[in-house]
Amino acid sequence: MSAPIVHGGGITAAATALGGRPEDWLDLSTGINPCPVALPEIPARAWHRLPDRHLVDAARFAARDHYGSGEILPLPVPGTQSVIQLLPRLVGADERIAVTDDRIAVVSPTYGEYARAFTSAGFAVDAVNDVAAIGAAHRLAVVVNPNNPDGRIWPAETLVALHDRIKAANGFLVVDEAFGDTNPALSLASRAPQLSNLVIFRSFGKFFGLAGLRLGFAIAGENILERFEDWLGPWAVSGPALSLAASLLRSDVSPIHSRIEERSIGLHTALDGAGLRIAGGTALFTLVNDARASDIYTYLCQHHILVRKFDNAPDWLRFGLAPDPAADRRLGEALQRFKR
Amino acid sequence: MSAPIVHGGGITAAATALGGRPEDWLDLSTGINPCPVALPEIPARAWHRLPDRHLVDAARFAARDHYGSGEILPLPVPGTQSVIQLLPRLVGADERIAVTDDRIAVVSPTYGEYARAFTSAGFAVDAVNDVAAIGAAHRLAVVVNPNNPDGRIWPAETLVALHDRIKAANGFLVVDEAFGDTNPALSLASRAPQLSNLVIFRSFGKFFGLAGLRLGFAIAGENILERFEDWLGPWAVSGPALSLAASLLRSDVSPIHSRIEERSIGLHTALDGAGLRIAGGTALFTLVNDARASDIYTYLCQHHILVRKFDNAPDWLRFGLAPDPAADRRLGEALQRFKR
């Protein structure tokens, strides 16, 4: 068992350690849309019954149309984390006989759960910093696109070429598009039907502001999705989650885009006003590179503002979106006071 | 990959095949309380945020008090199905080198997913019909108590003795108490802190009528629960599910017991009135043994009433509870017409 990774969202722990009521803290430690959509009505049967085929299919067809995955019906999963945990099985963790030469490549730095899942399963993980470093020794490669936390982007053509190279050695390419909703042009979803060794993960909760729901989608060839489905077992996703997906993935998402854009401008204004250097990000979070990062983190905590720091990159801080202009001002003023 | 098992709850498929609107069918094919409790309010943050420690702990403490598991804080899981899928790992499916002599015992006939999970993972599964047939060759044994579908009950002392015997051979005993809520005296939960190789599964949705929620609890020693937690990964259970658990497991459940009891009497009256022989069951379902079972099943389907049949026990039919007296009468009248 490997040590758990500390993720964002630990506002209760922060409040317990540093005082204040959790609801009075400003939580900028996640990449979740801080303005959740209004919940559409959830039929009573979605709560009451085991999620049946009809409900699952409604979510899958809505996801196909929303993500543009053509003939592939995306598989609903209880958070992409649940399928990250299954990736070692996709490359045969069950069948391996003692030591293996198979290696896993993870374009890094990135979301830590990929390395954790493969290391736990006994694989050697290479943290590579460029897709060019991925080679025939790699049984599976992970690219988060856009990347978390730096927002680094890989063009579709680069990833298609990478897929073909990995596939030639019987490997798999996993592209995590958890933060892809705000940059749909980047998605490989429409190419997926032609790329048999590609697996795409999509997050539902980040863009819609419903991370508590635990819902994501896997997009891949039928033989891969059937294996995930088998490993997850029946009724892996809750009825309310499927019902909301079927409805929200068919709704007009342009107001969500506008709101995120507005919130992102508010965040950038606060960071710029404090003279912080923006090193990357997506519409849902911004990465700051500053030698004083650790002190800024502590100062903000003292003012009950939680951001995300990185043990392996001490100059980095990741700022999520604040829920409204007042919270932007609260952040901006705290940062300005720190400067003095 | 093994073939999926056909479970109850497939009302949409039945309606598609045989006509009628799904909502006009009477679904007696599951063991779920047909009278869901009123939903307590779910705070917006439970939907919006990743389920944090505070929310998980609130559910765990409520579950401990409700199930009476003493020093053990039950682990919330996204449906007991999710941990059934993990059981092969508990007995080392990951580390096995090709063939193993380890065998698994499942007291049968019972819920089919246990045999499926172990068979998929390459274990030999013995379907035994008595706990006395479980021996030192069995690395893990599964007892569903009360059993589904026949309601067979194993006294606590028998299971404690079985645990000690299995533990002496370094094995594990899994007791599935999915239908244990209506017979709390049977539960091993209060003994669990003293039984280090015992794993108990509890279902949340069946008793409360919220099967769409996907929530269950595992009760076992800390070393076992930590492994499940690690394998499930962070945020395995949704925020709304944790929030409802924290609230409903502390509520007065006596009205739920009374309602289930009333519904069970209504079901028995309908079955008795048709002269059917009741072969077993729990408060949430009743098993009928009748040589005409297959014809009764078909006849009821024609009248848009779905019950559960069993491929391996062609004389059995399992009837779940109807939601109200009118539905009891609808069932009773259909069965009486069949008799003529």
For A54-83, the pLDDT digits (tens) are: 899 999 999 999 999 999 999 999 999 999
Residues A109, A121 contacting (CB under 8 angstroms): no
Residue A112: band (very low, low, confident or very high) from pLDDT cuts 50, 70, 90:
very high
Class of domain A50-248: alpha beta
Asked whether residue B97 carries a pLDDT value surpassing 70, the answer given is no
Q: Looking at residue B3, what is its pLDDT? A: 53
Helix segments in chain A, DSSP class H? 11-18, 44-48, 53-67, 80-84, 87-90, 113-120, 156-168, 205-208, 222-232, 239-248, 254-273, 293-302, 325-339
Q: What is the DSSP letter of A223?
A: H
Alpha-carbon gap, residue B71 to B75, rounded angstroms: 12
The answer to whether A308 contacts chain B (CB < 8 Å) is no
Is there a contact between A236 and B213 if contact means CB atoms under 8 Å apart? no
Q: Looking at residue A109, what is its pLDDT? A: 96
Q: Looking at residue B176, what is its pLDDT? A: 98
Could you read off the pLDDT of B181-209 as tens digits, one per residue? 999 999 999 999 999 999 999 999 999 99
Asked whether residue B1 carries a pLDDT value surpassing 50, the answer given is no
Beta bridge partners of B140: B104, B172
Asked whether residue A129 carries a pLDDT value surpassing 80, the answer given is yes
Could you read off the pLDDT of B263-294 as tens digits, one per residue? 999 999 999 999 999 999 999 999 999 999 99
Asked whether residue B78 carries a pLDDT value surpassing 90, the answer given is yes
Is there a contact between B52 and A241 if contact means CB atoms under 8 Å apart? no
Of A50, A56, A236, A42, which is closest to residue B211 (Cα–Cα)? A50
The answer to whether A11 contacts chain B (CB < 8 Å) is yes
Q: Which of A27, A32, A213 sits opposite B238 (nearest CB)?
A: A213
Residues A274, A336 contacting (CB under 8 angstroms): yes
Token reading at A260: 């995120």
The answer to whether B69 contacts chain A (CB < 8 Å) is no
Is there a contact between B82 and A12 if contact means CB atoms under 8 Å apart? no
Question: A339 CA to chain B: closest CA distance, Å?
Answer: 31
Q: Looking at residue A13, what is its pLDDT? A: 84
Q: Looking at residue B100, what is its pLDDT? A: 57
Three-class SS of A135-158: CCCEEEEEEECCCCCCCCCCCHHH
Contacts of A27 in chain B (CB under 8 A): 49
Mean pLDDT of chain B: 93
Of B255, B228, B248, which is closest to residue B89 (Cα–Cα)? B228
Asked whether residue B4 carries a pLDDT value surpassing 60, the answer given is no
The answer to whether B42 contacts chain A (CB < 8 Å) is no
Main-chain dihedrals φ then ψ at residue A156, nearest 5 degrees = -55, -40
Token reading at A137: 């020794």
Enter the CATH code of domain A11-36+254-339.
3.90.1150.10
Q: Which of B97, B212, B232 sits opposite A238 (nearest CB)?
A: B212
Q: Looking at residue B233, what is its pLDDT? A: 87
Segment among A44-53, A241-250, A284-293, B196-205 with least mean pLDDT? A44-53
Q: Looking at residue B52, what is its pLDDT? A: 85
Q: Looking at residue B8, what is its pLDDT? A: 59
Mean pLDDT of chain A: 93
Q: Looking at residue A1, what is its pLDDT? A: 40
Residues of chain A with CATH 3.40.640.10: 50-248
Could you read off the pLDDT of B138-155 as tens digits, one per residue? 999 999 999 999 999 999
Q: Looking at residue B93, what is its pLDDT? A: 64
Question: B256 CA to chain A: closest CA distance, Å?
Answer: 14
Is there a contact between B36 and A44 if contact means CB atoms under 8 Å apart? yes
What is the rounded average pLDDT of the residues A298-302? 96
Asked whether residue B94 carries a pLDDT value surpassing 70, the answer given is no
Closest residue in A to B213 (Cα) is A238
Residue B5: band (very low, low, confident or very high) from pLDDT cuts 50, 70, 90:
low
Residue B122: band (very low, low, confident or very high) from pLDDT cuts 50, 70, 90:
confident
Is there a contact between A212 and B36 if contact means CB atoms under 8 Å apart? no
Could you read off the pLDDT of B20-72 as tens digits, one per residue? 988 899 999 999 999 999 999 999 999 999 998 889 999 999 999 999 999 99
Residues A29, A9 contacting (CB under 8 angstroms): yes
Q: Which of B32, B36, B233 sits opposite A113 (nearest CB)?
A: B233
Residues of chain A with CATH 3.90.1150.10: 11-36+254-339
Asked whether residue A2 carries a pLDDT value surpassing 70, the answer given is no
Q: Looking at residue A4, what is its pLDDT? A: 57
Question: B129 CA to chain A: closest CA distance, Å?
Answer: 25
The answer to whether A295 contacts chain B (CB < 8 Å) is no
Q: Which of residues 70-89 of A touch B (CB under 8 A)?
A: 78-79, 81-82, 84-85
Tell me what percent of chain B is helix, strand and coil, each rounded to the nearest 5.
45, 15, 40
The identity of residue A116, as a single letter, is R
Q: Kindly tell me the sign of the dihedral angle through the C-alpha atoms of A91, A94, A96, A99.
A: positive
Q: How many Cβ contacts (< 8 angstroms) between chains A and B?
A: 180
Of A137, A131, A82, which is closest to residue A106 (Cα–Cα)? A131
Main-chain dihedrals φ then ψ at residue B257, nearest 5 degrees = -60, -45
Full-model pTM: 0.93
Q: Looking at residue B40, what is its pLDDT? A: 95
Q: Looking at residue A53, what is its pLDDT? A: 87
Question: Could you give the C-alpha distances from A98 to A126, A136, B231, in angstroms and in order?
Answer: 19, 21, 20
Of B35, B24, B11, which is closest to residue B259 (Cα–Cα)? B35
Written as one string, the DSSP assignment of A249-305 is TTS--HHHHHHHHHHHHHHHHHHHHTTPPEEEEETTEEEEE-TTHHHHHHHHHHTTE
What is the rounded average pLDDT of the residues A284-290? 98
Is there a contact between A213 and B10 if contact means CB atoms under 8 Å apart? no
The answer to whether A46 contacts chain B (CB < 8 Å) is yes
How many whole angstroms from its chain centre is CA B88?
19
Token reading at B308: 């559960």
* Burial category of B136 from C-beta neighbours within 10 Å (exposed 0-12, middle 13-18, buried 19 and up): exposed
What is the rounded average pLDDT of the residues A101-108? 91
